[in-house]
Amino acid sequence: MGRKFFVGGNWKCNGTTEEVNKIVSTLNAGQVPSQDVVEVVVSPPFVFLPLVKTSLRPDFHVAAQNCWVKKGGAFTGEVSAEMLVNLSIPWVIIGHSERRLILKESNEFVGDKVAYALAQGLKVIACIGETLEQREAGSTMAVVAEQTKAIAAKISNWTDVVLAYEPVWAIGTGKVATPAQAQEVHFELRKWLQANVSPEVAASTRIIYGGSVTAANCKELAAQPDVDGFLVGGASLKPEFIDIIKSAEVKKNA
């Protein structure tokens, strides 16, 4: 199988130049497993992308937190995939629940964005996940399958896609899906990919977990067979992000 462990840090709308320099120097000094064990990507706000890109250690990569659904032009306030490529930013996060819920990005819109970003040569961290109401109604799998289906309908090559399962009720709330809950959804998602895309894509696509991941809970989550890494929010701004990266050793030693 050999799915390389993936740890993403989503800085969201946080940081000043001073704070960003501090985070980068902490990351640069961190002792972490080698690149053949773990792939590390950090995602600062747009305005700090060039700064982080030039100052970050070469074995860590940089992602944007969003990009526009098509070519640039008269779209005030948007940033196009072409601009990210021009800045040599290799990754982009698309469909984060904050954008789905607050900015009303639909499943179809997210699918279009993923397809366009891939077509421009970007790699994509595509986010999916259910709300608390949806989980309590027992519709978790229906919701995430629908979100994944909207992406699968628009793309044929999954090589440059990492799927991030982020239960909305666990993001920034301190509530974490139990390792068993995370594994269950990741297992079902892989099964969905196997039936609806292909067994090859199901076996090779990394499905990572996001939602209040910390140094305290990451090892137990990392030990789950279908959890291929993390998309970390708040903790990615702190030194404990290094400990979360180190949880990749759990997989290596499994």
Active-site residue, selected from the candidate residues 39, 98, 105, 166 = 166
186 counts as catalytic = no
Residue 1, pLDDT > 60, answer no
- Express each pLDDT in 128-161 by its tens digit: 999 999 999 999 999 999 999 999 999 999 999 9
Strand stretches in 29-116, DSSP E: 38-43, 60-64, 91-94
- Express each pLDDT in 89-133 by its tens digit: 999 999 999 999 999 999 999 999 999 999 999 999 999 999 999
Give the amino acid at 51: L
- Express each pLDDT in 197-207 by its tens digit: 999 999 999 99
Strand stretches in 44-182, DSSP E: 60-64, 91-94, 123-128, 161-165
- Residue range 44-51: mean pLDDT, rounded: 98
Sign of CA dihedral 68, 70, 73, 76: negative
Question: What does the alpha-carbon distance between residue 136 and residue 84 come to, in Å, rounded to a whole number?
Answer: 39
Residue 251, pLDDT > 90, answer no
- What's the mean per-residue pLDDT of the chain? 96
**pLDDT band, very low/low/confident/very high, at 2 (cuts 50, 70, 90):** confident
121: left (phi over 0), alpha (psi -120 to 50) or beta: left
96 counts as catalytic = yes
Whole-number Cα distances in Å, 29 to 37, 156, 215: 18, 39, 17
Q: With 0.95 as the threshold, say if the pTM is over it.
A: yes
Active-site residue, selected from the candidate residues 39, 96, 98, 186 = 96
